[in-house]
Chains A and B, each alone.
Chain A
Amino acid sequence: MCLNKNSFWDFGDSNKDLKKLFVLKNKFFFFFVFILFFLVGLMFHLYQLSLLLTYNFFFMNSCNFSLIFLLDWLSLMFLSVVFLISGCVFLYSLGYMSGDSYVIRFYFLVFMFVCSMFFLIMMPDLMCLILGWDGLGLVSYCLVIYYQSDVSLSSGYLTLFINRLGDLFLILSICWCMNYGCWHYFYLFTFDNLNIYMIFFLILACLTKSAQFPFSSWLPAAMAAPTPVSSLVHSSTLVTAGVYLIIRFSKFLSSDLIFFLINLSLLTVLLSGFGALYENDLSKIIAFSTMGQLSFMIFSIVMGSHYLGFIHLLIHAIFKSLLFLCSGIFISLLMGSQDIRNMGNLGLQSPLISSCFLISLFSSCGVPFYSGFFSKDLIIELVVLSEINFFYLLIFFFSIYLTLVYSFRLFYFLFICKINFMIFNLIDNKYMKVSCLFLLFMSIIFGSCQFWLLDLCYVNVFDEYYKFLIIFFFIYFFIYFNVFTMLNMNLSSFIVYFLSQMWFLPFFSSTFIVSKFFNKSNFLFSLIDLGWTEYLVFTTIYNLIKNLNMHLDSLHLNSLKMYMLSYLMFIFFILMI
């Protein structure tokens, strides 16, 4: 018995070691793939190469069904960033999820997530792309409901159904695309313009995936997932899939679509800025910031600079994942409390993670010479230089100003306020710190690195007034800070309620639609099932059969004499005829 017990415990320890070894191996695998893809992507960019690997399945009705992989610098760079972040997230979750009983399931789900992202990026074929697209939707649902509580279930449903709506749009666009006989991008790029409906449905699918204005309610709800997952989902994988597809199809954006997309992305920026300003949940604030950055990217893409948009996507992926990882550490140090009003003076209590957090926050604001600055600055300059409506320009600058405001609010609540809750430094883990530090390094150098290595040269010449516009806005913000704190205090006001509830989008995307169907169903139930049709159809037939059965039974329950008499009577009757 004793031997058995010992061997059992040995096995348990070795199992634990194996788990760690598995993850570490995975980590090294991911880093290897990251470096490989990064270097190959640089080479492809240098020589302007693109490599297509195709396997034809069959032709049907002159449509080509094939499996196709595309290697060009866009997909390779994107994949390298995905692998970098997923490697860091794997290492991080070794510390973060160590107390969980279903860690293996978690690792497999995250691995499937990365796989489906791989398919999505590598397959330049709408038909094959839906493999990765659906995989992202389903696995994100599984990850959102990972903690198996009521809240996570309802938010998981919201995520699943809105993503399903996006799949629907993509399938519609595939149906339209069947007219062209092929679903490859590269084949479609040979046309001058595509069918308006096809491209419109494709854009709608991208908007649902990237959580833009009418479909944005799922992104804050998806924060019910474990924090490393949200770091992976909201930085580089799920939400950027739509932006990636828009970048691919940016050639076909007609003027109507551009107008539509500009409006929607500016609306989303405003929505997310106000949402982050009035939200008290740390991870939801970061989700709102992600939403804003995504619409910033889409705005830059539709303004014409899709390469800058893509580079901003990569840089944003890195610093946003760092932000999420740091917030995950804060949340775990605060024993699961996510309310920023409980946090305070974190800078003194955990200086290392706080500095990581602050650096990524500065990066997302675009403070000079952090990595976010490089792409963001250029995008703003290009927007200023382009012939854009003054109203749009005002909203654009106001949204950047809102980014600063909610960043400062976060900074204020997390680092300047007095201590509300003593944090538990005992919990922190070396794996979490290592991955954070690695991402910190990357988020400092990655932005400038991109511009040196990819040799992107933008020279913009304009008035110095515009250059300091953001700084004017920043000073403006300091003056009007008290106004916002006053607004924050008065929570009963309708405007504040409206802005903090994402302009009632979660209501309009769930209860508003569902309640109509419930009412209709209730009406039909009372009309049909509880109405007179019940009596007229069911009860009548039932009574008829019951009476017939009674009469037939009275015929059967007799003696043989009666049977014979009845037979003879019948025969006699027949003979009379």
Chain B
Amino acid sequence: MKLNTSKMMFIYVIFMTTLISLSSNNWLTIWIMMETGLFMLIPLMSKNKINDQSMKYFIIQSTSSYILIFSILWNSLNETNLNSLMTLISLMIKIGMPPFHTWKPMMMSNLGWMECLILSTLIKIPPMVLINSLIDLKMLILPLTMTLMVGSISGINQLNLKKLMAYSSIFNLTWMTSSFLLSKKISLTFMIIYSMLNLKTMFFFKLNNLIYTNQMMHMPLKMKLVMNLNLLSISGLPPLSGFFPKWIILNELIKNSIILPSIMVITSVISMFVYIQVNSFSFSNFYVKKKNNKIFWMKNLSAINLIILIAVINLWVY
């Protein structure tokens, strides 16, 4: 296997930019880091030369960046605070929050799984930090509610796993945003568990070449079981580890508003239905071995769904 040094560099720079944006005290630095990350991601996307995804992604992201810098400059000229609608719209386009989410499923359905993973976890962090510092919760309630509705309902009719994961990331955007608005510890907990779960799920899909949901049935029972547990954990079923950061978020958020947590709970039922629909494909058939189907068994990180993790997180948060 050839060691692709340029790819390694891109990924490392994305990590670096994310870390720097987490620890910066300056909005301009965050903006620059965001742009750097974007420019590192585009070559990663354009690995497959048939697609024009990198160009589309570039257009959308550069639009949002322009709007962001414009709004920031405008606000600084007027010497008002940065808490404005334009900033919010630019950040919403950047992370794909409804009603500006439409690019995301289309984009992710044409990307590789690893790029999907970066798009749904790492790239979101700098905009989140900006949201945390620039915008308050009251302004976000309407977009967050919309996000919940869209992310849960549009996943129902999906057979493409990449699109499904895109909707799942849209749905979890609300939780992520609210966690960033609440406190740093909660946001760290949520980001770590969510990205671990996403990493495991997408890595699994990548290793087994899964693109459509009905391919889930060509796996042995044990893998099906681990996969289903993983998906349920992302959806936030109570005994699994994915539920716990969501519980903490709900616990804190209910002190600020009533409407948002209640809508979160109701829509997470619909989102859980989506995941169970995926699982039902794997439960409907017994193991039918496909020809030349290599099965990769990912042993590390399989304990992430265990409840033992909860104790560690609880000790850390409280």
Residues on A facing B (Cβ under 8 Å): 545-546, 548-550, 552-553, 555-556, 558, 560, 563-564, 566-567, 570-571, 574-575
B85-A556 in contact (CB<8A): no
Instruction: Say whether, besides A571-B67, A571-B89, A574-B85, A563 and B102 are in contact (CB < 8 Å).
Output: yes
The answer to whether residues A560 and B270 also contact, given A549-B153, A571-B89 and a CB cut-off of 8 A, is no
Which residue from A545, A567, A570, A575 sits with its C-beta under 8 Å from B153? A545
CB–CB B89/A560 < 8 A: no
> Can you name 17 A-B residue pairings with CB atoms under 8 Å?
A545-B156, A545-B270, A549-B154, A549-B157, A552-B154, A553-B154, A555-B102, A556-B106, A556-B154, A558-B102, A563-B102, A564-B63, A566-B99, A567-B93, A570-B89, A570-B99, A571-B67
Chain A residues within an 8 Å CB radius of B27: none
**Which 3 residue pairs are nearest across A and B when measured between Cβ atoms?**
A552-B154, A563-B102, A548-B153
Q: Is the CB of B157 within 8 A of A556?
A: no
Knowing that A570-B89, A574-B85 touch, tell me 17 more A-B residue pairs with CB under 8 angstroms: A545-B153, A545-B156, A548-B149, A549-B157, A553-B154, A555-B102, A556-B154, A558-B102, A560-B103, A560-B106, A563-B60, A564-B60, A566-B102, A570-B99, A571-B86, A574-B89, A575-B86
B56 adjacent to chain A (CB < 8 Å): yes
CA distance A541 to B59 in the complex (A): 38
Contacts of A555 in B (CB 8 A): 102
* Chain A residues, CB < 8 A from B105: 556
Name the contact of A570 in the complex, choosing from B100, B106, B156 (C-beta under 8 A).
B100
Are A552 and B150 within 8 A (Cβ)? yes
Candidates B85, B86, B103, B154; contact of A563 at CB < 8 Å: B103
State the B residues within 8 Å of A (CB): 56, 59-60, 63, 67, 85-86, 89, 93, 99-100, 102-103, 105-106, 149-150, 153-154, 156-157, 270
- Tell me, in angstroms, the Cα distance from A142 to B142 when the chains sit together: 62
Q: Which residues of A contact B156 (CB under 8 A)?
A: 545-546, 549
Distance A553 CA – B149 CA, assembled complex (angstroms): 13
- Contacting residues, chain A, for B67 (C-beta < 8 A): 571
A563 cross-chain contacts in B, Cβ below 8 A:
60, 102-103
Complex interface: chain A residues within 8 A of B60 (CB): 563-564
Expressed in whole angstroms, the minimum distance between the Cβ of B45 and any Cβ of chain A is: 14
Residues on the B chain within 8 Å of A552, using CB: 150, 153-154
What residues on A are CB-neighbors of B93 within 8 Å? 567
> Chain A at the B interface: mostly helix, strand, loop or mixed?
helix
- Chain B residue contacts of A575, Cβ below 8 A: 86
Closest to A566 in B: B102
Question: Within the assembled complex, what's the spacing in Å between the Cα atoms of A550 and B63?
Answer: 29
- What is the interface of chain B mostly: helix, strand, loop, or mixed? helix
Contact A553 B59 (CB under 8 A): no
A567, B100: Cα distance in complex, Å: 7
Contacts of A574 in B (CB 8 A): 85-86, 89
Residue of B nearest to A548 (CB): B153
Chain B residues in 8 Å Cβ range of A564: 59-60, 63
- Give the shortest distance, in Å, between B23 (CB) and chain A (any CB): 31
Q: How far is the CB of A442 from chain B (nearest CB, A)?
A: 59
- Give the docked Cα–Cα distance between A549 and B152 (Å): 9
Report the separation of the CA atoms of residues A199 and B255 in the bound assembly, to the nearest whole angstrom: 54
Closest Cβ of chain A to B135, distance in Å, is: 15
Q: How far apart are B241's CB and chain A's nearest CB, in angstroms? A: 28
Q: How far is the CA of A208 from the CA of B101 in the complex (A)?
A: 69
Q: Which of B86, B149, B154, B270 counts the most A-chain CB atoms under 10 A from its CB? A: B154
Q: Do residues A560 and B153 form an inter-chain contact, with CB atoms below 8 A?
A: no
Task: Report the bound CA distance from A483 to B18 in whole Å.
Answer: 103
Q: Evaluate whether A560 and B59 lie within 8 angstroms (CB atoms) in the complex, with A549-B154, A571-B67 already known.
A: yes
For B89, list chain A residues within 8 Å (CB).
570-571, 574
Per the bound structure, the CA–CA distance linking A156 and B270 in Å amounts to 45
Residue of B nearest to A571 (CB): B89
Which residue of chain A has its CB nearest to the CB of B64? A567
- CB distance B102 to A556 under 8 Å? yes
Report Cα–Cα, A531/B102, bound state, in Å: 40
A566 to B: closest C-beta gap in Å: 7
Nearest Cβ in chain B — how far from A177, in angstroms? Answer: 39
Q: In the docked arrangement, what's the CA distance between A545 and B106, Å?
A: 22
Q: Which residues of B contact A550 (CB under 8 A)?
A: 157
- Rounded to whole Å, the gap between the CB of B228 and the closest CB of chain A is 22
B56 CB contacts on chain A under 8 angstroms: 560
Distance between A142 CB and nearest chain B CB, rounded to angstroms: 32
CB distance from B63 to the nearest CB of A (A): 7
Distance A575 CA – B85 CA, assembled complex (angstroms): 9
Which chain A residues border B99 with CB–CB below 8 Å? Answer: 566, 570
A560 vs B60: C-alpha distance in the bound complex, in angstroms?
A: 9
What residue in chain B is nearest A550 (Cβ atoms)?
B157
CB neighbours of B149 from chain A (8 A): 548
Give min CB distance, A143 to chain B, whole Å. Answer: 37
User: How close is A161's CB to chain B, nearest CB, in angstroms?
Assistant: 33
- CA of A553 to CA of B167 in the docked complex: distance in angstroms? 12
A564 to B103, CA, bound (A): 9
Q: State the Cβ distance, B168 to closest chain A Cβ, in Å.
A: 15
CA distance A375 to B99 in the complex (A): 94
**Which residue on chain B has the smallest CB distance to residue A555?**
B102
- How distant is the Cα of A545 from the Cα of B59 in the complex, in angstroms? 33
Name the CB-closest residue of A to B152.
A545
Residues of A within 8 A of B270 (CB): 545
Across-interface contacts of A548 in B (CB, < 8 A): 149, 153
Chain B residues positioned under 8 Å from A549 (CB to CB)? 153-154, 156-157
Residues on B with beta carbons closer than 8 Å to the beta carbon of A560: 56, 59, 103, 106
A558 to B99, CA, bound (A): 14
Neighbouring B residues of A570 by C-beta, 8 Å: 89, 99-100
Look across to chain A and name the residue whose beta carbon is closest to the beta carbon of B154. A552
B287 to chain A, nearest CB (A): 31
A560 to B55, CA, bound (A): 11
Which residues of B are found within 8 Å of A566, using beta-carbon distances? 99, 102
Contacts of A567 in B (CB 8 A): 63, 93, 100
In the complex, residue of chain B having the shortest beta-carbon distance to the beta carbon of A559 = B106
Closest chain-A Cβ to B157's Cβ sits at a distance in Å of 5
Bound-state CA distance A558–B56 (Å) is: 13
Report B146 CB to chain A, min CB distance, Å: 11
- B90's nearest neighbour on chain A, judged by CB, is A571
- Bound-complex Cα distance A548 to B267 (A): 13
> What residue of chain B has the Cβ atom nearest to residue A577's Cβ?
B85
Q: Quote the shortest CB–CB distance from B91 to chain A (angstroms).
A: 13
Complex alpha-carbon distance, A566 and B106, angstroms: 16
B163 and chain A: residue at smallest CB distance: A556
- A317–B93 CA distance with the chains assembled, in angstroms: 88
Cα–Cα, bound, A555→B102 (Å): 7
Please give the distance in Å from A47's CB to the nearest CB on chain B: 61
In the docked arrangement, what's the CA distance between A564 and B56, Å? Answer: 10
How many angstroms from the CA of A219 to the CA of B150 in the assembled complex? 64
Q: Which residue of B lies closest to A570 (CB)?
A: B99
Q: Give the complex CA separation of A242 and B172 in angstroms.
A: 63
Question: What residues of A have a CB within 8 angstroms of the CB of B63 in the complex?
Answer: 564, 567
* Closest chain B CB from A552 CB (angstroms): 4
On chain A, the residues within 8 Å of B157 by CB distance are: 549-550, 553
CB distance from A575 to the nearest CB of B (A): 8
Cβ distance B166 to chain A, nearest Cβ, rounded Å: 10
Residue of A nearest to B156 (CB): A549
Residue from the set A549, A553, A566, A570 with the largest chain B CB neighbour count within 10 Å: A549
Bound complex: CA A550 to CA B156 (Å):
10
Min C-beta distance of B71 to chain A, whole Å: 10
* A560-B153 Cα distance, complex, nearest whole Å: 22
In the bound complex, CA of A571 to CA of B71 (Å): 12
